A and B are shown apart, each in its own frame.
Chain A
Amino acid sequence: MSGASAVASGAVRASLRRQRVDVAGYVFSAVLLLSLLFSLALLTVLVADQLIRGLPVFAERGVNVLTSPLSSSPARAGVIQGLMGSALLALIVALTAFPIGILTAVYIEEYAPTTRLTRVIDVNIRNLAGVPSVVYGLLGLAVFVAVLSHVGSANGANVITGGLTLAVLILPLVIITSAEAIRAVPSAIREAGYGIGASRWQVVRKLVLPSATPGILTGTVLALSRALGETAPLILVGAVLGSFSQGRTIADLFTGPYSALPVIVYDWARKPQADFRALTSAAIIVLLVVTVIANGFAILLRSRYDRRW
């Protein structure tokens, strides 16, 4: 071995062993980690801040906050009308958006030939998903409120028009997630069905839909929790800001004035009094608990039934 090649091989060995410290690499990965921790820290601060402001209200008044109606006096105001409104809205959304959305997904994935028409429907749905929620409020105002303006005492500003508006808002989301779940079902399952003589609808109803159920459920529950948090479309279609008295009959519940949890949060957040600040945080805690339960349920479903074909 000559001296020169020994020196060269030594240099190669040293660089292969990487004896220099990779400063830029460490700094870069630290920056990346920080950007991820930023979201985590923000979420922690947000939740902690609401708890610090809102928990004293619960400590002082207990469940009274949950069971009292809206009021202009912060010492007496509660969110029961919001809880009821949100529950009714969720019911209406589930009854309208879920069946229409799932049927549309079935049509797109299982029936539709790839023609011009189905491509139009497909592009259309993806664009609808990107329309800002406040624009859906305008649609609700121009269509649902106008059509139902003679039903009930609130000139069409009732929980039915609010629910239909939210249903229209989450419909694209329901369709897209359900279609993905249906697409993930392997075609071998369908072929097995056809092989024993099942019709197309039988294959869909007995084989495809049951296999896609966990995915569809996750998507619909996530969409529902999105609807529960929406405020802008509801204030456009006339959810009440401020206090109101609720009628006693079931018909009043559906056709009279209404509110919802996020609408109450908005209404109270605009009030300058410090007492309402604390109350806003209390309402936010209730709203977050409701949406976290819905989201957690969806995540649980997904991890429980996550099936790889």
Chain B
Amino acid sequence: MTTMTPAVSRFQGSPRRRRNEALVKTVLLVASGVSVAISVGIVLSLIFEAASFIGSIQLPQLFAEGWFPRRGMFSLPTVIAGTLIITIVAMVVAAPVGLGSAIFLSEYASPRVRKVVKPVLEILAGIPSVVLGFFALTWISPHVVQALFSEAQAFSLLSAGIGVGVLTIPLVASISEDAMRAVPVALREASYGLGARRITTSLRVVVPAAISGIVAALILAISRAIGETMVVAVAAGASGGSLFTLDPVGPGQTLTGAMASLATGSDSVTGNSSAFLSLYFLGFLLFLMTLGLNVIGDIFVRRTRQRY
């Protein structure tokens, strides 16, 4: 198209038309530049403020007995342990339920059943996370967690983790269902032709063939669970700070929960204190973790697309 021959130039239209086309193209390019500018903005603001946080504190403060930003205790092990507990609980809920739903929708459900059932998962995905946080605190905590563990408190990492898990079910289900539906029908027919039952075909043929997509679904769900804020802020307690804890039935603090409580309520801070700057430090850690997981997840997603 770019090669200019006399014959072609006759068909390129008036100079005005060419000018308009160039203008449109510039406008579109500028619009696409916005997303790049946003990423650069995120990275720069996080790096600068996180660096000035590190500069404003002593290293031992990062390993204090707990996360109490106003008292200068910025214990990383506390918030990372809390985040890990939430993520593990969430995946224990979301992985089996999400995968089970995906296998059912892809291998067992008739098109009519799927048409009715899929919107349920979409509605679940559309529920604001703060609503699920309130539900985790006022229903899951008393009726599930405290019913199972008598020593559990009203605010607990366990109930928040279950809430986060419920939020990630639709994500696991939809990505792994897509992966399983991308498995060619010929593979299933070959399996049935050998006399395999439906359960055998599902578990031994379809799931292994879709394994990259399933792994991607789980990785992206983990990333989502790490970054989930409002469920933890409402249901995990410890808004003022928390000692280091590995107890899932008690309150605890996570990366995101610590950020939410730094920005709100009695704990809110402003200005350039280290407590305020720690907000950016936490954000930077969160950004690195989720970015890493998303990049790995994306590689797995693309691997499924390439094979068939």
Using CB atoms and an 8 Å cutoff, list the residues of chain A in contact with chain B.
Answer: 22, 24-25, 28-29, 31-36, 38-40, 42-43, 45-46, 49-50, 53, 99-100, 103-104, 106-108, 111-112, 120-121, 124-128, 130-139, 141-143, 168, 171-172, 175, 199-201, 222, 225-226, 228-232, 235-236, 241, 262, 265-266, 269-270, 277, 280-281, 284, 287-288, 291-292, 295, 299
Tell me whether A143 and B45 are in contact (CB under 8 A): yes
In whole angstroms, what is the CA distance A194 to B148 when docked? 67
Tell me whether A35 and B129 are in contact (CB under 8 A): no
Tell me whether A231 and B130 are in contact (CB under 8 A): yes
Tell me whether B31 and A132 are in contact (CB under 8 A): no
Contact partner of B286 among A107, A134, A235, A299, CB < 8 A? A134
Chain B residues lying within 8 Å of A124, measured Cβ to Cβ, are: 35-36, 39
Chain A residues lying within 8 Å of B41, measured Cβ to Cβ, are: 139, 142-143
Tell me whether B104 and A33 are in contact (CB under 8 A): yes
Contact partner of A128 among B38, B105, B173, CB < 8 A? B38
A-binding segment of B55-63, B74-82, B207-215, B227-235: B227-235
Closest chain A CB from B230 CB (angstroms): 5
A-binding segment of B20-28, B64-72, B184-192: B20-28
Minimum CB distance partner of A24 in chain B: B199
Closest chain A CB from B57 CB (angstroms): 19
Closest chain A CB from B169 CB (angstroms): 6
Tell me whether B130 and A34 are in contact (CB under 8 A): no
Tell me whether B283 and A103 are in contact (CB under 8 A): no
Chain A residues lying within 8 Å of B169, measured Cβ to Cβ, are: 39
Q: A121-B35, A134-B286, A142-B45 are in contact. Are A299 and B197 (CB under 8 A)?
A: no
Contact partner of B197 among A22, A35, A40, A232, CB < 8 A? A22
Q: A25-B199, A291-B128, A295-B126 are in contact. Are A35 and B49 (CB under 8 A)?
A: no
Chain B, interface size: which category? Answer: 35 or more
Using CB atoms and an 8 Å cutoff, list the residues of chain B in contact with chain A.
Answer: 13, 17, 20-21, 24-25, 27-29, 31-32, 34-36, 38-39, 41-42, 45-46, 49, 96-101, 103-105, 108, 117, 119-124, 126-135, 137-139, 166, 169-170, 173, 197-199, 202, 220, 223-224, 226-230, 233-234, 239, 256, 259-260, 263-265, 279-280, 283, 286-287, 290-291, 293-295, 297-298
Tell me whether A36 and B117 are in contact (CB under 8 A): yes
Chain B residues lying within 8 Å of A35, measured Cβ to Cβ, are: 96-101, 104
A-B contact pairs, 24 of them (CB 8 A): A22-B197, A25-B199, A28-B199, A31-B100, A35-B96, A36-B117, A53-B138, A103-B31, A104-B34, A108-B32, A112-B32, A128-B38, A130-B291, A134-B286, A135-B227, A138-B280, A139-B45, A200-B24, A229-B126, A232-B230, A232-B256, A284-B134, A295-B123, A299-B119
Closest chain B CB from A235 CB (angstroms): 5
Q: A43-B123, A49-B135, A131-B287 are in contact. Are A36 and B229 (CB under 8 A)?
A: no
Tell me whether A135 and B286 are in contact (CB under 8 A): yes
Tell me whether B198 and A25 are in contact (CB under 8 A): yes
In whole angstroms, what is the CA distance A136 to B297 when docked? 21
Contact partner of B35 among A31, A125, A132, A226, CB < 8 A? A125
Minimum CB distance partner of A45 in chain B: B139
